[in-house]
Amino acid sequence: MMKYSLKYSLIFLIVLLAGCNVGKNKNETIPQDETLFPKGDKIANNNFTGTAWVQMMVSNDSTYNTSIGNVTFEPGARTNWHKHPGGQILLVTDGEGYYQEKGKPAQLLRKGDVIKIPPDTEHWHGAAPGKGLTHIAISPNLQKGSVVWLQPVTDEEYSQSTK
Ligand code: MN
């Protein structure tokens, strides 16, 4: 009788320890709020409203004529209106935000979305009012010229487009 009791106690102990190990391994995995690419530096110019961060991943050169940056917007943050002579492609990697072309309704952006912005098309992109947004911005054909910055997206325009 004692033998069985000891046997089951040992089994129980082994199961318990295995359970602890599973927990330990879980804690060693990458936290969910960890981003795929670095957040980079806070953007310190007047081309954005609110707080945004950028990490340049590929700098322009004469072989590719393309720059690639990882951009993170805090809730409510957005670019000014602007246009790209060579167009732009956005790959949304996290959060929730909006993309809007002048004169059109804003489009909701979610993780996994791909946005192709035609050349010389006035637009803005940024976070949702209550949620941050991270996207990779690919700017190709830079031999045609770099981004042309325009006026800020006013609070009125932003709240109209994101409600
Ligand atoms: Mn753009």
Domain positions in the chain are: 40-161
Cα first-last separation, the chain: 70
- For residue 30, give the amino acid letter: I
92 Cα to the center of ligand 1, angstroms = 13
Q: Contact 129/95 with Cβ under 8 angstroms? A: no
**Tens-level pLDDT at each residue, the chain (163 residues):** 556 676 666 556 555 555 544 444 444 454 545 678 999 999 999 999 999 999 999 999 999 999 999 999 999 999 999 999 999 999 999 999 999 999 999 999 999 999 999 999 999 999 999 999 999 999 999 999 999 999 999 999 999 999 8
Q: Read off the pTM.
A: 0.80
53 Cα to the center of ligand 1, angstroms = 15
31 Cα to the center of ligand 1, angstroms = 30
70 Cα to the center of ligand 1, angstroms = 12
CATH class for the domain made up of 40-161: mainly beta
